[in-house]
Amino acid sequence: MNNLPVHQAIAVGASKHPHKGKNVFSYGTAGIRCRADILDPVLYRLGLLVVLRSRAVRATIGVVITASHNPEQDNGAKVVEPMGEMLLQTWEGYATQIANTSDEDLGQCVQSLISELNIDMALPANIFLARDTRPSSFGLAQALIDGIQALKGDYIDYGLLSTPQLHYMVRCQNTQGGYGNPTEHGYYSKLASAFTKVREQQSETDESEYTGELSVDGANGIGALKIQQMCQHLNNQLKISVYNDGTHGQLNDRCGADFVKVQQKPPHGMPTEEAGRKCVSLDGDADRIVYYFVDSDGVFHLLDGDKIATLIAGYIQELLTAANLQLNMGLVQTAYANGSSTQYATDVLKVPVACACTGVKHLHHRAQDFDVGVYFEANGHGTVLFSALATEKINSASQDERLSSDQRQAATTLKYLQDLINETVGDAISDMLVVECILHAKGWTMTDWNAAYTDLPNRQLKVKVKDRRVIQTTNAERCATTPAGLQEAIDGIVSKYNNARSFVRPSGTEDIVRIYAEADTQVAADSLAYEVATKVYHLADGVGDPPAQPSSS
């Protein structure tokens, strides 16, 4: 440990992690993410920042080193708040500021944050860190540790963990074990025990066509390792075959949840020909999951975040009714949710639906407005949040002798289901176990589940413009307020199609504008997306070639 004054200790570290000043970094929706080879000084600076954050909130703070579904040459970091949530928005600004501070100004930058935020530097600071399987992650973890040590913070380096596992550890630590044990073993045994208990509550009927056999595409990343460890705790209750486990292919290369969702086809490296075979793909840090199967005609069917969300919301709704529990439950989606899923949730499940802006933290925040808030992005990131009131009511109903045994059993199932859910953030492993419990309870095959509703055909396009900030949106990104005339033009185009919807928004992760369109047929969705993209290109200073005519029309 160093005994140097703060300024000097920061300078010594900075000389080992020099900032070339050539790149501009930004802490956005998913933390900092860019090419790994320029991140070393940024991780050192983040190490300093999280010590300040830990002292400011007097709690353990987490950092995960990962770039999720990005290619292997990229990397990044996400900071985790004490209850396992994403970094507070005001601190995203400080993170961006410190990440861009030169070596000479670094001491001053830290000093002004200390005074501005009135941080007591005599307090202890504690950081939990973990990393994904990228080759660059190890060195970046060392840069982070150097930053933590420069400000005399303590840390526990968990080594390789999935993003949601690290979120879980932080919450366990800050609840003094109330949420579970902050160890990897604690994570697996909590989930395995909850999984077994939920299934014990469910009676399997003779006609059940459910099978616990599934193929998992681990994206050649951390999820492949961790799901194998999870399996060892499940006593063969599921028969899981892991592909893309990192022994052959490259991380996220033509595989993983993002590839499957965007390409709407199976990943490389995993056999999917067997009709009806249940398949899942995780992303590079295992916080997203999608299901899919190929039917007897060889047609590929994707069951994305929307299908998972409606399955979970519908099941929790049934349990709440069966337990006679009055709790206000809702589903939170983004504008990308397929219109059929929203309609199914509203009209069939009778679950109220709220729409939030893209990005996990927005959905998470909105879900906290409900007693039971289910949230999912169509890309497969999501979880369920239970308020303190909901937790209390479910617990007491599970032990209430005045209720019928069926009511008590429904409440008990809910209680164990809550234990199975990682409430800190979307967690591919936990979500998979939840889905398997529900399919088991219903005796469903993939075909049964998929039949709940049929997705409206849709198309996403990208348009490159001079400055994507000229597009501003409102109403959870569903309506463009600038440039002038764009929304009116979109409305005019949409009105020519049946069952149609379209919106545009500037991407938070790429320098482009994204176009989404859905309509009654694929040809119509393609043509609608093309027309809207062309409008954006003309009204928002498009650069390069104008959008190409869709080949299907």
Choice between 29 and 328, CB closer to ligand 16G? 29
Per CB under 6 A, does 383 bind ligand 16G?
Answer: no
Choice between 127 and 513, CB closer to ligand 16G? 513
Per CB under 6 A, does 261 bind ligand 16G?
Answer: no
CA distances from 246 to 223, 227, 255 (A): 10, 13, 11
Per CB under 5 A, does 132 bind Mg ion?
Answer: no
Torsion, Cα 395 397 402 408, to 10 degrees, reads -110
- To the query of whether residue 68 is one of the catalytic residues in this protein, the response is yes
Q: Which residue of 377, 431, 477, 518 would you call a contact of ligand 16G, by CB under 6 A?
A: 377
Choice between 261 and 393, CB closer to Mg ion? 261
User: Which partner in ligand 16G, Mg ion, none is near 283 (CB below 5 to 8 A by kind)?
Assistant: Mg ion
Site for Mg ion in 350-409 (CB under 5 A): none
Q: Which part of the chain contacts ligand 16G (CB under 6 A), choosing from 89-97, 199-207, 355-363, 529-537?
A: 355-363
**213-217/239-243 β-pairing:** parallel
Per CB under 6 A, does 29 bind ligand 16G?
Answer: yes
User: Which partner in ligand 16G, Mg ion, none is near 228 (CB below 5 to 8 A by kind)?
Assistant: none
The number of residues that bind Mg ion (CB under 5 A) is 4
The tokens for 527 are 């043509």
Q: Could you tell me how many helices (H) and strands (E) the chain has, helices first?
A: 18, 19
DSSP state string for 9-69 = HHHHHHHHS---S-S----BTTBEEEEGGG-HHHHHHHHHHHHHHHHHHTS-EEEEE--TT
CA distances from 157 to 10, 23, 84, 85, 164 (A): 21, 28, 17, 19, 15
User: Which partner in ligand 16G, Mg ion, none is near 295 (CB below 5 to 8 A by kind)?
Assistant: none
User: Which partner in Mg ion, ligand 16G, none is near 217 (CB below 5 to 8 A by kind)?
Assistant: none
The tokens for 251 are 């991380």
CA 438, CA 195: separation in Å to the nearest integer?
Answer: 11
Task: Decide: 349 and 472 in contact? Cβ < 8 Å.
Answer: no
**329-334/372-376 β-pairing:** parallel
* Secondary structure letter of residue 542 according to DSSP: B
Beta carbons within 8 Å of 18's beta carbon, 6+ residues apart:
41, 103
Task: Decide: 150 and 163 in contact? Cβ < 8 Å.
Answer: no
Q: Which of 15, 26, 54, 68 is catalytic?
A: 68
Compose the 145-184 pattern: x for residues touching ligand 16G by CB under 6 A, - for all others. Answer: ----------------------------------------
Per CB under 5 A, does 285 bind Mg ion?
Answer: yes
Choice between 89 and 507, CB closer to ligand 16G? 507
Per CB under 6 A, does 474 bind ligand 16G?
Answer: no
CA 280, CA 551: separation in Å to the nearest integer?
Answer: 30
Compose the 78-117 pattern: x for residues touching ligand 16G by CB under 6 A, - for all others. Answer: ----------------------------------------
User: Which partner in Mg ion, ligand 16G, none is near 227 (CB below 5 to 8 A by kind)?
Assistant: none
Shortest Å, Cβ 216 to Mg ion: 16
Binding-site entries for substrate? 377-379, 505-509, 514
Per CB under 5 A, does 245 bind Mg ion?
Answer: no
CA 459, CA 519: separation in Å to the nearest integer?
Answer: 9
Q: Which part of the chain contacts ligand 16G (CB under 6 A), choosing from 179-187, 446-454, 501-509, 521-529?
A: 501-509
CA 26, CA 31: separation in Å to the nearest integer?
Answer: 8
Which residues are designated catalytic?
A: 68
Binding site residues, ligand 16G, CB under 6 A: 29-30, 358-360, 377, 379, 381, 507-510, 514
